[in-house]
Amino acid sequence: MTQQVVLIPGDGIGPQITQVAKRVMEAAGADIEWLDRPAGAGAFEEFGHLIPPQTFEAIENCHVALKGPITTPIGKGFSSVNVQLRKHFKLYAAVRPVRSMPGIKTRYENVEIVVIRENTEGLYSGLEHEVVPGVVESIKVATETGCERIARFAFNYAKQRSRRKVTVFHKANIMKMSDGLFIKCSDRMHKQVGEGIEYQELIIDNGCMQLVRDPNAFDILLLENFYGDVVSDLCAGLVGGLGVVPGANFGDDCAIFEAVHGSAPDIAGLGIANPLAVIMSGVMMLNHIDQSSAADKIKNAYDLVLAEGNCEEITRDIGGTASTQEFAEALIKRM
Ligand code: NAI
């Protein structure tokens, strides 16, 4: 049955890479009716809203979206559209699979980590204020409901995919109450729903050191919002960078798929962005909507193109010379 999917092009490199991803999915035979809807800085200029009502409405109706990256001003201006979408649709679980890709040389081999990040609480609650001039406060929120929900998600995810271990990174030695609650709930959920899954807690500074020393020691990482944001980029660096790591944001009845990377303003409009991460996010989305034969076709195609490693078929960030379009053509040729 044809599935309606909302496509949010986003800002910077977003429109170009999402168009290419759509083309690749169509070439793989995905049975999708795309509803293009705006959000982000561009949407604000055109419609006067960062997330126009028609975008909220379309996601509410379809329950699935593929999103390009969205620019957020640094240190001033509007609050993050991504955070707003995640909160509005209660997309509490960000899932970012990080794996060594054929043909992409890095310091490590056979890395296979899934970063599971709590997406709605922590420091990203956006509760900041000036107490007196020169003193600001940023409030970190952790609720028992939110901590249990993400931990339950992580252990269920591990069981469904036959993974072996969940490691929680925390700083409960300093943030005894908020991170303390996070590990208490993780431990409780391990006992309740994590049968057969190994469970480990590491203080995050030590965890990061161990991660770059031996990433193969890790399987699933479970983190609160801020740590998850930072550590997922670190993990991307282990396997070749932001161009090769997909992501999904899951709630109980809605999912938005997007690459881990941002809008890359430094290369926007040059036609050289790597569309692979958003294409891989599209593969996660196709599996989510039960269109796994199209998903497999695309995955086989990019594994082949990367393994062959022809410079003219891969983008600059991973050692080639291909444009965004040329990379997409190479994938379509292999299907
Ligand atoms: P970024 O991920 O946009 O870029 C970091 C570096 O990686 C840049 O050198 C960029 O050229 C490169 N890069 C990123 N994606 C690439 C791709 N697909 N192909 C080739 N090279 C790529 O991070 P940055 O510069 O910190 O953020 C830029 C903007 O993006 C900010 O406004 C930020 O808030 C936003 N952002 C949005 C996200 C989202 O919508 N999910 C996630 C992260 C950042």
Asked if pLDDT for residue 84 goes beyond 80, the answer is: yes
Nearest residue by C-alpha to atom 6 in ligand 1: 264
Residues with CB under 6 A from ligand 1: 13, 69-72, 82, 242-243, 258, 261-267, 273-274, 277, 317
**Portion of the chain with pLDDT greater than 90, in percent:** 91
- SS3 assignment, position 23: helix
Q: Could you give phi then psi for residue 166, rounded to 5 degrees?
A: -120, 125
Q: What is the mean pLDDT of the chain?
A: 95
Q: Which residues contact 191 (CB under 8 A, 6 or more apart)?
A: none
Mean pLDDT of 81-88: 92
242: CA distance to ligand 1 center in Å? 8
Ligand 1 pocket mutation pick from 96, 233, 258, 263 by most atoms within 8 angstroms of CB: 263
User: Which has the minimum average pLDDT: 1-15, 40-54, 222-236?
Assistant: 40-54
Q: What digits encode the pLDDT tens for the residues 87-105?
A: 999 999 999 999 999 999 8
pLDDT band at 172 (very low <50, low <70, confident <90, very high): very high
Bridge partners of 132, per DSSP, are 135
226: CA distance to ligand 1 center in Å? 17
pLDDT for the residue numbered 1: 83
Distance of alpha carbon 219 from alpha carbon 114, whole angstroms:
6
Fold of 107-239: Isopropylmalate Dehydrogenase (3.40.718)
pLDDT for the residue numbered 116: 98
Residue of 266, 278, 230, 284 lying closest to 97 (CA atoms): 284
Asked if pLDDT for residue 315 goes beyond 80, the answer is: yes
| Start-end of CATH 3.40.718.10 domains in the chain | 1-92+241-335, 107-239
263: CA distance to ligand 1 center in Å? 5
Asked if pLDDT for residue 75 goes beyond 80, the answer is: no
pLDDT band at 126 (very low <50, low <70, confident <90, very high): confident
Domain 1-92+241-335 sits in CATH 3.40.718.10: yes
